[in-house]
Amino acid sequence: MALATVATLVVAGAASLFMAWSIGAGSSGSTPFAPAVGANAISVMRAGLVVGVLGLLGAVLQGANVTEAVGTELIGGVTLTATAAIVALVVAAVLVAAGVFAGYPIATAFTVTGAVVGVGLAMGGDPAWPKYVEILTLWVSTPFVGGGAAYLVARALTGTRLPERALTAALAGVVGAILANVGFALLGPAGEQASVAVVVAERAGVPSTVVTIAVAAVVAGAEYADVTRDRAGAQRRFLLSMGGLVAFSAGGSQVGLAIGPLVPIFGDVGVSLLALLVGGGVGLLAGSWTGAPRMIKALAQDYASMGPRRSIAALIPSFAIAQTAVAFGIPVSFNEIIVSAIVGAGYAAGDAGVSRTKMGYTVLAWIGSLVGAFVLGFGVFSGVTRVI
């Protein structure tokens, strides 16, 4: 391999690690446990440590779908070159890192998608309109679906019309049903993922629906017994479990934003997707451990006052949306998911300290990051190709 090629791959890998660190510090590292920190269920530093480990596991076990989508499905007619990947990753990482230090959660999926599309079009590629429709549909619907679901769940949990133990158990059952159908790389054949429900159903000779219902019933029963024995402790354990599931999902979704642009160039030199996933996961871990506490504090305190019930209400739809995005290979912003859910759950108790000013600036930052990343990606790559 030529020395110039090795140097290019090293620079591309460094840009990817910088992006992974920025995501770990800002999106996947801060958002999953922010509601739990806001409810005083876990400390800021401990949340950063736990979410880093779970994010690494999620990256390795679930990261393939989004990674391949970011690397090969956002632009048509061309394959991203090493220079294009470096430009896209550096542009996106700088924007995300700026948001981390400013205390505003920049939407990582917006920045990476905008940057990749920008450099791809600058290369002469064609817009991938069907994929853009999928992405925009999820992005636009997330605040309404996630925030709306969080609002309804929070209203039910904080109200008096429904029995708390039964309702909490039912919500845990829903989470169990979703978890039973989550795809894992270890359970599927080479290059594919499979869920617990599918694997058990095949071996037992029953429909996967039966397995899903059985898992949901077991989880619901365990939660009902836990709430009966220790209501406050059960709430805290449920909340921390949801934070862990969302952190795992964040790793599976966000790692693709960091390493997706590397897939075409590293694949040509024989580097496996698993190796890229591990490297990206380590970058997420480093970002979570070193930079996430600042954003955890911002999300936990600046958007709404969150008790345990409203925090649970925020994390359940966040988990469902995240796993939907992972399953369909759609890059999604965890900042958008979590912030929308936090605001929705916060409004369930009046305005519960929801900061309209902070929310307005955040939405502007999301839109600005998408447009800015696209413009910078297109412009910087065009400038670089003229110089080189």
Domain residue spans of the chain: 3-387
One-letter identity of residue 175:
V
Going by C-alpha positions, the residue among 171, 177, 178 that lies closest to residue 224 is: 171
- What pLDDT sits at residue 42? 79
CA-nearest of 65, 55, 73, 331 to 191 is 65
Spatial CA neighbour of 178 closest among 249, 89, 80: 249
Q: How confident is the model at residue 359 (pLDDT cuts 50, 70, 90)?
A: confident
pLDDT of residue 137: 95
Tell me which residue has tokens 């806001």.
38
Tens digits of residue pLDDT in 297-353? 666 655 545 678 888 999 999 999 999 999 999 998 887 888 888 888 888 776 555
Tell me which residue of 294, 330, 358 sits closest to 110, measured CA to CA. Answer: 330
Beta strand 126-127 with 75-76: parallel, antiparallel or unpaired? antiparallel
Report which residue type is found at 164: E
CA 220 to chain centre: 26
**Tens digits of per-residue pLDDT, 35-45?**
677 777 777 77
79-116 confidence digits (pLDDT tens):
988 899 999 999 998 887 787 677 666 788 999 999 99
Report pTM: 0.88
Average pLDDT, the chain: 87
Give the HSE-up count for residue 275: Cα atoms under 13 Å, Cβ half-sphere: 9
Structure tokens at 50: 């736990």
Looking at the chain, how many residues does it have?
Answer: 388
